[in-house]
Structure formats: structure tokens, C-alpha cells
Chain A
Amino acid sequence: NAGVMQNPRHLVRRRGQEARLRCSPMKGHSHVYWYRQLPEEGLKFMVYLQKENIIDESGMPKERFSAEFPKEGPSILRIQQVVRGDSAAYFCASSPSRGLETQYFGPGTRLLVL
């Protein structure tokens, strides 16, 4: 059973460009969570999605960031007009259902904004 897949693993963008991060959950998992880890800091929750629905986006910056989890295909975290402060590791986790379910994490995407 393949684990959570994230791509790309490394992404370099110039200021003002768009970054698209993809997450494919574990087989049978329909719940996805995105977390961000700034350099030398802990992980911070960003958003929680179920297929076609955003359940909790309390950790998402108000501007430039959006997330989706379509009926078909991976979850996408989109960052528009990136700035240097967006440089971080972005981790996706998945779980099979809502409630008290263990979240399994992917390897992360490391975004570097030049």
C-alpha cells in the first residue's frame, strides 16, 4: 500500500510566480491535511479538506493561498505571487475518515523562492 505521495519534492520559484503543490493521499483515504514548516520551526496546520470540500482553513493565510481536493485527482495547494517568506517545507497528510483517525504524512515539498 503506497504511502502519501507529494510532488514535486523540490520546487524553485522566483518572486511573483505561482507554486502548485500536489498531494495524493494513501489508497482509501479521503481526507487531506496540509501543514507548513518554516525553517527551524515546527509544523503549522494550514487546511483540512475532504473530497470536493474545505472543512477547516483556519491556518491558511488570507491572501494568495488556496487549496482544493477534487473528486478525481490529487489535492492541490496553490500559492500565487510567491514571496521569499513562502520558502518552507509543505507537508500533506491523509486519513481514512473524519474524527480521531491517525494522520499519515507524505515526504513534503520544499519550496524555495528566489
Chain B
Amino acid sequence: DAKTTQPPSMDCAEGRAANLPCNHSTISGNEYVYWYRQIHSQGPQYIIHGLKNNETNEMASLIITEDRKSSTLILPHATLRDTAVYYCILHGRGGSEKLVFGKGMKLTVNP
């Protein structure tokens, strides 16, 4: 079972920042927070990951709270093509190699 909790859905206006929350209160010290998304009928796409420091790449920013029990994925300027199901996943060093996908959160970007 997934160890993360996400709201089932969220709407965002095109051009606005989308802030996607994720709770992972039972995270272990060696577990990273990974974000993937799945656009309809496509394979999952890697977005970003982090351990405890905030991370930024060309797609998004990841903010992890100091106690690491929650995080937020930020899409700074959402576009219609960002409409997808977003998955927050914990993946730990030394553990199983498999990714455990939960139900994710459906983000709908509206024009």
C-alpha cells in the first residue's frame, strides 16, 4: 500500500501556480520523495525527487517540510498540458526497487 496521502483532485487556472500537497507522516530517514505524473493514456513521467532539501528543475519545484512529513510540488505556471494524475511516492535506499503508486491526484488545468 502507498505510504502517501494526496487529495483526489484539484483544479487550477491556466497560467497560475499549481501547488500539489502530499502527506507522508510515516516517512523513514532513508526515503526520498518522488513525484511522477501520468497524462491520459501515456506512461508515467518522472518530475522531480528530493530527500530533505528543496529541489527545483525545469519542470517543477519540490518543497519538503523540515520534519519531512509532508511536501508540496509546485508547477509555477500551469498549462493545459499539465492536466494529469500526479503521484507522490516514497522510494528508499536499501529497500525494494519497486515504486508503489497510490491513487494519485487528478490535476485539471482550466483555460
Residue numbers of B with Cβ under 8 A of A are 32, 34, 36, 38, 42-46, 49, 87, 91-94, 96-104
Report whether B42 and A107 are in contact in the complex, using a CB–CB cutoff of 8 Å. Answer: yes
Q: Which residues of A contact B45 (CB under 8 A)?
A: 105
CB distance from A48 to the nearest CB of B (A): 5
CB distance from A9 to the nearest CB of B (A): 10
Report whether B98 and A100 are in contact in the complex, using a CB–CB cutoff of 8 Å. Answer: no
Q: Which residues of B contact A103 (CB under 8 A)?
A: 46, 99
A21 to B44, CA, bound (A): 18
Q: Which residues of A contact B92 (CB under 8 A)?
A: 100
CB distance from A31 to the nearest CB of B (A): 8
CB distance from A95 to the nearest CB of B (A): 8
Q: Looking at the complex, which of A38-46, A63-71, A76-84 is the stretch in contact with chain B?
A: A38-46
Report whether A56 and B97 are in contact in the complex, using a CB–CB cutoff of 8 Å. Answer: yes
Q: A100-B32, A100-B92, A102-B49 are in contact. Are A43 and B44 (CB under 8 A)?
A: yes
Report whether A43 and B97 are in contact in the complex, using a CB–CB cutoff of 8 Å. Answer: no
Q: Which residues of A contact B36 (CB under 8 A)?
A: 105
CB distance from A63 to the nearest CB of B (A): 21
- The residue of chain B having its C-beta at the shortest distance from the C-beta of A50 within the complex is B97
Report whether A98 and B104 are in contact in the complex, using a CB–CB cutoff of 8 Å. Answer: no
A108 to B103, CA, bound (A): 19
CB distance from B16 to the nearest CB of A (A): 27
Report whether B100 and A91 are in contact in the complex, using a CB–CB cutoff of 8 Å. Answer: no
Q: Which residues of B contact A12 (CB under 8 A)?
A: none
Q: Which residues of A contact B96 (CB under 8 A)?
A: 56, 58
Q: Which residues of A contact B46 (CB under 8 A)?
A: 102-105
